[in-house]
Structure 1
């Protein structure tokens, strides 16, 4: 479970780099003034800045539930192929979601990837509850 966790951290840092790069380019090109970034208001932004910033923020929404459930699997010593497989499916869905969002940004395609990731997180939580409750009754 550690490897899917690390993969999500790596994805977050990749998106961080994309976001920072888009912001630097927006200032260097003169499309956004540096002072905009003090309060993040008062100016229209290029699409690349808006998309990458929103995607970065999105990585601290549903993925937080993944970090918690995956950490619980590790702490409780419950690591099996099914849980790890679901965790990797979540990571794959989030990578696909990021790729779609930060490139051609088809909303329907992005929604499918987003929902696939959400289903994976829910499945991990349900599976964890089943495993914990079966251990409690054993």
Structure 2
């Protein structure tokens, strides 16, 4: 049943929206507090305070690995690779992205963030292998 994969895909989309809201709030707070003026960030975002820059970087990250995730979800549904293992992998990927965001916009510990990112990559490779096995 493809619903097993639709739910983590919808959860990932919701998380992207959540990160976008975090970014908007942090940028708004920077303007309201006077830390930055619109003309200072009209061309480059370097003048935003660290929290806003981290949220911006993480929002950009949501259009990197998750693009592969969404492609794999669609391929898995097309080739009927929609079992519990694929669904579990999809949920693990979503959890890895949530954890990555919380680390990135929080303490931003690079070794921990990199490890969580790596988990997401390994999960995507496993999902890819699952799709490949379904078509062989």
Q: Does 1:12 align with 2:29?
A: no
Cα 1:76–1:37, aligned 2, differ >3 Å: closer, same or farther? farther
2:48 is the counterpart of 1:45 = yes
Alpha-carbon deviations, 1:69-111, whole Å to 9, x = none? Answer: 0111123333101110111110111111111111111111111
Q: Residue 136 of structure 1 corresponds to which residue in structure 2?
A: none
Unaligned residue ranges in structure 1 (runs of 5+): 134-138
Q: CA deviation at 1:44?
A: 2.4
> Per-residue CA shift, 1:14-55, capped at 9, x if unaligned?
0000000011011111111112343235x5221111100000
Aligned length: 132
Give me the CA root mean square deviation. 1.3
TM value normalised by structure 2: 0.91
Of the candidates 14, 39, 52, which is equivalent to residue 35 of structure 1? 39
Q: Do residues 119 (structure 1) and 122 (structure 2) align?
A: yes
Q: TM-score, normalised by structure 1?
A: 0.90
Is 1:56–2:72 an aligned residue pair?
A: no
Following the alignment from structure 1 to structure 2, what is the Cα–Cα distance between the partners of residues 115 and 68? 19
**Alignment CA distance shift 1:44-1:38 (3 Å):** closer
